[in-house]
Structure 1
C-alpha cells in the first residue's frame, strides 16, 4: 500500500493537534465521574496543557532516536527509569518492579493493581504514526510498550486504539475502523464487550445520557481509569457526535471518568482522519509549543509539535523498511534517520508471556521465564528457564553460568552449548527460595554470566520473594492492638506481592516491616471489610473498607501519612466479618506518590 507522503505528514500533524486539544479540554475535569456539559475549554488556556498522554510518547521518540530499532520492551523500561518520574497507578507499580529487576512483560503483570488502567492506551499515537496503514505493525509496536506496565485488559485496550489509529491513515469509515480495532483483541475480553455494548445500546437508544447510564451500570468500577468504561466512552462520544469534531470531542469528555485521556484519544483519531476538522477556535488558545510535565527529565526534545511531527514522519520511513511493512510512501525521498540496529533478528523472540521478562537485547536477546505466580514462597523449589537467541549468521559456542544470592539454591549452575546461527536455546533450572525466617530483601539478583566469542559479561534480573503475614481468627474487630504469641492458632500467609488473600470471617494480620529512612511515609491499607491498622501498637487508621483502588495518591480514607523511624516496625491489621477478598498494603512517599521499592519484610518474631 502506497501513501502520499505529503498527505501522511498532514495527518500526523492532525493527530498531535487533536491529541493536544482533547487533553487540554479534558485535563481540568479528569476524574469527575458524573455527566458534564462542556462546550469549550474551561478555563480557556494560554498554552497546551502538559499531559502524560503526550509526555511519554516524546520520551519514546527520543529513546528510538538514541537506541535505534527494533522497538523493544527492555529499552522502553530503561527509559521509564531514566526519564519518567511519574509514579501513580500502573506507572508506579511497574517502576517498582523494574527497580527490583523484574523486567517486562513481568513488570506489567506482577503485583500490579492497575493492569487494566488507561496508561498505555493513551500513548498509542506514536506507534500508529510510525506504522500508518499497517495496523498489524502498529499493534506489534504497541505491545512492546503496553506490557511494560500493563497486562491483559490494559494491553487489549492499547492494541484496540493503536489499530484504529493506524488504519485511520487510509480509512475514514467509523464502523470499519472500530471493526479493525476489535479484530486485534479477544472477543471475550472486557474491552471488546464494552465496545460492542456501546454500539448496541447507541443504536437502540440514540441518547448519550441514557446509554452512558447503561454503560456505567455494566462496565464501571471504583477505578475511573479502568479501560473498559473509558473505551466505551470514546466509542459513545464518536457515535453521539455524528461527523462533527466539536460534538464528538465534547460528547466524549462530558461522559467523565478519565476525561483528558478519552478526549485526547478521540481527538487524535479525528485529527488523523481529517486534520482540517479541527477548528481554529480549538487551536488558537493552545498554540503549538511542546509543553512537557515537570516529571519528565533528561530530555532533548523539539520545541513545538511541528518539529516533533516532522521527526516522527522521517522515522516512520525507517520503521516501515525495517519491519518489511507493505506500507510505503510516495514522494518521501531518501531517508536514513536511525543508526544501524544491533539485533536484526531480535523480533523473533518477542512472543513473551506475562510471567516472562526480556532481560537483555544485546549482544544476545535473553528472556527469563518465571513460575506462573513469579514470586517464590519460602523453601519453594520452582522451575525457571532462560531463552537465549543468536542474532548472528554463524554458530557461536556459549558458556552460561547462573548464580543466586546466599540462602538461595540452584540445581543447575552451568550450561555449555553451541548456538546455531539465528537459532534459540532454552536452558532449564530450578531455584529454591530460602527459609521462612529469612529477611525478605527488596532485591534478590539472579545473575547470568555468559562467555562467547572471547567476551565475558553478566546479565542480571530479580527474584521476588513473597511477603510474610501471620493471621489468626477473632470474634470481632478488637478495640486495642491484639498481640500474637506462639500459643495462638496461627496461619502463615505468604503473599505474592502486596495483595494477600483474606480468609472468611473476622481476622487479624501482622508482619514486620523495615523502613530505610526517618521520614513521613504514606501507608495505604485496603480490604473489602471494616479495617483497623496499628503500627508498633499505636492505632493509625480505621475505615469501613468501602474504597478499593490501590493507588498512593487517590486512596481516600484508606491512606494515612505517618512519621516512621528507620528500622523495623510491627504492622497489625484487624479485619471485620466478611467473605474472602484481598488485603492490600502499600508504603510510599506522599510528596512524589512513589512506592518505596526498598522496603523489606520478615515474619514476626514471637514469644
Structure 2
C-alpha cells in the first residue's frame, strides 16, 4: 500500500470507528425489535438533539493511535504509553466502561505492571480498538505483537486476542483491496490463529457461507441465537461484525446500519464495522452528514483527523532513539486537556442517564 493510500486508510479507519460508535450508541443494550419502536431506524443521530457523540470504543482507538505514534515499533514503549493513557482515561469517569477494562485500569493504579493487569475475560474490548493496528502497521508480525500487548493489558482470555486479530486483519484487507476476497482474508486469519481458535474459525466460516447465501446480517445473528441482540462476548461480536463487513464491503451506510439493526452492544459492533469498512472506503466513502453530525470536544473530528495523519507519518521499522535509559519519542502525539475530558464526560453521563430513564417508558 502506498503512503498516500495508507494515510487515507488510517483516516478512514479512525473516523469510521467514531461514526459507527456515535450512530450505534443510543441503541446500545436494546433488543432489535424494541429499538426500532423506541428510536426508529439508525439512519441519523439520535443521541442528543440530532447530534452524535463517541464512547469508549473510539476513545480507545485514539489512545492506541496516540501510543503508536510515540512508540513507533517499540512494543515495550507502546505498552508503557498505552497503560499510562488507560490509567488517566479511567480517572476521567468515562460512562459505560467494560468491567474487564475497568478492573485492569484500577489494577494499574494499584501498581500492577501493565503486563499483569489483564483479567480473564473474553469481552470485545480488545476488538473495538484493533482495526487501527491493521491499517497502521505495515509488518504483519509486528502488528500481531502490538495487538497481543494491547489485548493482554486488559483481557487475558485467548479468545479476546483471537477476535482482535481477526478484526485487525479485516481492516488490513479492507484498506489494501478494492475488491474484497473473503476466502483470502479467511485463509490469512486461519493461518495466523492456528488450531487454538477453532471456535472462532468455525463461526467466521459460517459467516462467510451466510453472506454467499445472501442472508442478511440480522438473520445471521438470529441464527447464532442472538435474537435479543449481539452480546459483548467476543465470539458473538466478531462473527456478526465480519458478516456486516462482507455483506457491504464498499457501502459504509449499509454496513453500519445492518449491524446496529442486530441490537445489543450496538455502539461497539458498529464501531468495529465502521473501522473496518472505513479503512476501505476512506473518509470520502463515509456519509459527510454523519461525520459533521458528531458534536465532540476535546476529541473532535478535526482532532481525530490530526491523530490519524500524524500516525501515518510513523516509521514502524525504526524504533525510537534511546537517550540513556529513557526513550526519546520520535513523534509527538496530539493530546487532549484532562480537565476538558472530565467536563465532557460529566455532560456525557447526563445524556446517558436520560437515555436510561427514557427506556423505562413505552413503547415496549
TM-score range, shorter chain: 0.7 to 0.9
1:94 aligns with 2:104: yes
CA deviation vs aligned residue, 1:343-362 (integer Å, no higher than 9, x gap): 9xxxxxxxxxxxxxxxxxx6
CA contact (8 A) 1:215 1:232 kept: no
Aligned to 2:56: 52
CA deviation vs aligned residue, 1:133-182 (integer Å, no higher than 9, x gap): x3333222111111101121111111111122233332241403344334
Aligned to 1:79: 85
Aligned to 1:139: 144
- Which of 165, 176, 190 is the aligned partner of 2:171? 165
CA distance in 2 between counterparts of 1:153 and 1:245 reads: 27
CA contact (8 A) 2:128 2:272 kept: yes
Aligned to 1:117: 123
- Which of 315, 318, 321 is the aligned partner of 1:321? 318
Aligned to 2:265: 258
Cα separation, partners in 2 of 1:67 and 1:141, compared to 1, 3 Å: closer
Aligned to 1:185: 193
**Cα drift, residue 187 of structure 1:** 4.5
CA distance in 1 between counterparts of 2:210 and 2:236 reads: 14
Aligned to 1:340: 321
CA distance in 2 between counterparts of 1:192 and 1:118 reads: 16
CA distance in 1 between counterparts of 2:229 and 2:103 reads: 18
CA distance in 1 between counterparts of 2:249 and 2:73 reads: 40
Cα separation, partners in 2 of 1:235 and 1:169, compared to 1, 3 Å: closer
1:148 aligns with 2:153: yes
CA deviation vs aligned residue, 1:408-432 (integer Å, no higher than 9, x gap): xxxxxxxxxxxxxxxxxxxxxxxxx
Number of matched pairs: 310
Aligned to 1:212: 221
How much is the aligned-residue C-alpha RMSD, in angstroms? 3.3
- Which of 224, 234, 239 is the aligned partner of 1:232? 239
**Higher RCO (C-alpha under 8 Å, 6+ residues apart):** 2
TM value normalised by structure 2: 0.73
CA deviation vs aligned residue, 1:454-501 (integer Å, no higher than 9, x gap): xxxxxxxxxxxxxxxxxxxxxxxxxxxxxxxxxxxxxxxxxxxxxxxx
CA contact (8 A) 1:135 1:166 kept: no
Larger radius of gyration: 1
CA distance in 1 between counterparts of 2:292 and 2:69 reads: 30
Aligned to 1:396: none
Instruction: Name the one with the larger strand percent.
Output: 1
**Cα drift, residue 222 of structure 1:** 10
The 5-angstrom pairing of residues 287-302 of structure 1 reads 291-292=298-299
Q: Which runs of 5+ in 2 are unaligned?
A: 327-364
Cα separation, partners in 2 of 1:167 and 1:7, compared to 1, 3 Å: same
CA distance in 2 between counterparts of 1:251 and 1:278 reads: 15
- Which of 41, 44, 51 is the aligned partner of 2:44? 41
Aligned to 2:345: none
**Cα drift, residue 249 of structure 1:** 1.5
Aligned to 2:7: 9
**Cα drift, residue 201 of structure 1:** 3.7
Instruction: Name the one with the larger helix percent.
Output: 2
CA distance in 1 between counterparts of 2:64 and 2:110 reads: 22
CA deviation vs aligned residue, 1:383-427 (integer Å, no higher than 9, x gap): xxxxxxxxxxxxxxxxxxxxxxxxxxxxxxxxxxxxxxxxxxxxx
CA contact (8 A) 2:250 2:280 kept: no
CA contact (8 A) 1:131 1:320 kept: no
